[in-house]
Amino acid sequence: MTSRIYLSPPDVGPLEDAYVRAALRSGWVAPVGPELDAFEREIADRVGTGYAVGVSSGTAALHLALLSLGVGPGQVVVVPTLTFVATANAVGYAGARPVLVDVDPATGNIDVGLLAELLGRLRRAGEHIGAVMPVDMFGTCADYAALLPICEAAGIPVVEDAAQALGATYQGRPAASFGRIAALSFNGNKIITTSGGGMLVSDDAGLIDRCRHLATQAREPVAHYEHTEVGYNYRLSNVLAALGRAQLRRLEEMLARRRFLREHYAKLFAALPGVRLLADGDPGSNCWLTSIIVDPEQAGWRADELGDHLGRHDIETRPMWKPMHQQPVFAGTESVLTGAADLLFANGLQLPSGSALTETQIQRVLDTIDEFLAAYR
């Protein structure tokens, strides 16, 4: 009997247990406390920004980021069509309208050339563009050297969706440091986890203060409960922040483990025609999820066939994100497309990538893939 191997399970151990127990014994079990204060400082230091505020999820972070910039009804926000739905949903939460743009087929990140054309067209049409939200896809940063000057010239703020990218770098600079404000996620399947949770980081103290205020029900600083606007119950708890602090201390070892696993995949698929790793060769990627893209005509097999084979051996895989322009909930949403996201969705497969995978589990995954490939050699 074998146990199931998951795509990216939480990687927790004795250190996390000690931090959480200490937080519980301290009596700080409310949504504020010294662990949360420390976690915010440590994350800000890690990504090189001045300020941070912990919230209940990466989605909440994206929502607050847009609100802090004044994004709302009557505005549009440009979002890559290849992303998890939270990116586009946050635009709707703010009352704005998403406009979808296709991606670079090599990395899955926003197509910056297409973005430049789109921004020009939207501005000529008189649209109020509240923000551009690039996503650092699967832990590989967007092309900020090209993207930031375009947005800066147009006077449009960048909200960096770095939910998947803690620990990644771009040209030596940490992910989550490129946007006017950026969102991180600590969901259970991310590089580090607080079970659920997220964080906003920025060099703009005013934006972070605004997010902190909105995340605490917009409570005014008076002894009684006073509210002059609608806020949200979005703060991260002190106990979960303790878990995050323990995870952060293990970040480098967890990054190394995921990179080690990607190297195995790279060697396994290197000699095969029609197969490539998404964003292969980026030394700054945190390798959160390793994805392969398969050309069926060259390879002689499809990505979903490999996924089915692994599934029969109790090994979890996942197709690429279904593009937002294909999602029924965003039917009719304005989109600028090249077909790249559709091709990645049709031909992509995410492979087990978690840092908690044991040597035995890794070998089992590699052997099972090799068993599948043997039929095509």
Q: Annotated catalytic sites, by residue?
A: 190
- Is residue 305 helix, strand or coil? helix
Give, to the nearest 10 degrees, the angle between helix 34-47 and helix 238-249.
40
Helix (H) or strand (E) holding 170: strand 169-170
The candidate with the shortest Cα–Cα distance to 102, out of 78, 82, 122, is: 82
- The CA distances from residue 245 to 24, 54, 88, 248, 372, in Å, are 14, 12, 29, 5, 41
Q: Which residue has the tokens 């945190």?
A: 286
The C-alpha atoms of residue 265 and residue 290 are separated, in whole angstroms, by: 8
DSSP 8-state assignment for residue 242: H
Residue 85 burial by Cβ neighbours in a 10 Å radius (0-12, 13-18, 19+): middle
